[in-house]
């Protein structure tokens, strides 16, 4: 048996004033895990809480693309080898639910109109996503990593994308190894400038360090210092096979919170 645990963030740049909102999502995940729920259920439901909270750039509060559209990316991966992601899906306030439905399909990921059509077939209702104009301060991405009592780990991430990006742009959130990576014994999620995170393949590289025995914080410091170009605001969360999760951002401006079950 493992001790259940959760770590979540509200985005690089979101600032400490969003901490209580992140803690609410962590409490939802903790409650699910304490009642015997799986890491996937806990990660998805906590991510939905963050997607529904308009202060975050994910789901309802997603920033407009340059053409005024709202396009959402979301991903989920599990330590038992499953993965689901959607890219630039529209009319879907909770894209993480569609990504999670893909976990048990042959297809890993879907994009744009194809993703939305598949969501229709799966019974996910269409609904206009409110979004927010780019002149309003946008944060970046939400992410939740959970470990359940069986030691299984899941990472769920969701975003409207960075500000000032064209329709169809693909950031780090739906790209395996970039915005997220999970395998047996480790889960990592990233937030910040998606292009820099992707060029650095940040989540996979942090996971490798953790699996090689590096401490969570040390592995994040290494990634933020050595795997990124100068000036890219980026944050990370991670959770291993035991102990509490951790979060770190190079701007120190990422609200994150964690929880672990009592022994």
Using CB under 6 A as the criterion, what x/- string covers residues 105-144 for binding ligand GLY? Answer: -----------------------------------xx---
Nearest to 73 by CA among 64, 61, 86, 63: 86
List the one residue from 77, 78, 158, 191 that touches ligand GLY (CB under 6 A): 191
Specify the stretch interacting with ligand GLY by CB under 6 A; choose among 90-98, 99-107, 186-194, 248-256. Answer: 186-194
The alpha carbon dihedral of 158, 224, 79, 244 has a sign of: negative
Catalytic residues: 141
Specify the stretch interacting with ligand GLY by CB under 6 A; choose among 97-105, 129-137, 157-165, 239-247. Answer: 157-165
In the complex with ligand GLY, the residue whose CB is nearer, 236 or 257, is: 236
Number of residues lying near ligand GLY (CB under 6 A): 12
Segment 201-240, which members bind ligand GLY (CB under 6 A)? none
CB of 124 to ligand GLY, least distance (A): 22
List the one residue from 194, 200, 235, 240 that touches ligand GLY (CB under 6 A): 194
Nearest to 183 by CA among 83, 79, 103, 108: 79
CB of 116 to ligand GLY, least distance (A): 19
Q: How many angstroms separate the Cα of 47 from the Cα of each of 85, 87, 142, 165, 219? A: 14, 16, 7, 23, 24
Burial class (CB in 10 A: 0-12, 13-18, 19+), 107: exposed
Specify the stretch interacting with ligand GLY by CB under 6 A; choose among 15-23, 90-98, 187-195, 211-219. Answer: 187-195
In the complex with ligand GLY, the residue whose CB is nearer, 141 or 146, is: 141
CB of 243 to ligand GLY, least distance (A): 26
Reported for 109-112, long-range contacts at CB under 8 A and 24+ positions apart, including other chains, are: 109/75, 109/83, 109/84, 109/85, 109/174, 110/85, 110/86, 111/86, 111/87, 112/71, 112/87, 112/88, 112/168
Report if residue 162 touches ligand GLY, rule: CB under 6 A.
yes
Q: Give CA–CA dist 57/63, Å, rounded.
A: 6
List the one residue from 92, 158, 159, 219 that touches ligand GLY (CB under 6 A): 159
Q: How many angstroms separate the Cα of 223 from the Cα of each of 190, 200, 209? A: 11, 8, 9
Contact residues for ligand GLY, defined by CB under 6 A:
140-141, 159, 161-162, 171-173, 191-194
């Amino acid at each position: 048996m493992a001790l259940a645990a959760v770590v979540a963030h509200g985005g690089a740049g979101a600032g400490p004033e969003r901490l209580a909102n992140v803690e609410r999502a962590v409490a939802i995940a903790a409650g699910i895990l304490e009642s015997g729920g799986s890491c996937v259920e806990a990660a998805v439901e906590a991510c939905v809480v963050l997607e529904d909270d308009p202060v975050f750039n994910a789901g309802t509060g997603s920033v407009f693309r340059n053409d005024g559209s709202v396009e959402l990316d979301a991903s989920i991966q599990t330590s038992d080898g499953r993965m689901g992601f959607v890219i630039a899906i529209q009319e879907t306030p909770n894209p993480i639910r569609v990504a999670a439905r893909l976990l048990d399909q042959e297809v890993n990921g879907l994009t744009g109109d194809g993703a939305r059509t598949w969501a229709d077939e799966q019974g996910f209702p269409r609904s206009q996503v409110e979004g927010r104009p780019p002149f309003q301060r946008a944060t970046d991405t939400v992410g939740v990593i959970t470990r359940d009592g069986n030691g299984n780990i899941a990472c769920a991430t969701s975003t409207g994308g960075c500000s000032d990006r064209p329709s169809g742009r693909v950031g780090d959130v739906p790209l395996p190894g970039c915005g997220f990576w999970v395998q047996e014994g480790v889960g990592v999620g990233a937030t910040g400038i998606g292009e820099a995170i992707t060029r650095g393949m940040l989540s996979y590289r942090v996971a490798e360090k953790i699996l090689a025995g590096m401490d969570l914080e040390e592995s994040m410091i290494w990634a933020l210092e050595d795997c990124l170009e100068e000036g890219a605001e980026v944050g990370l969360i991670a959770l291993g096979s035991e102990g509490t999760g951790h979060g770190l951002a190079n701007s120190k401006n990422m609200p994150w919170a964690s929880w672990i079950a009592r022994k």
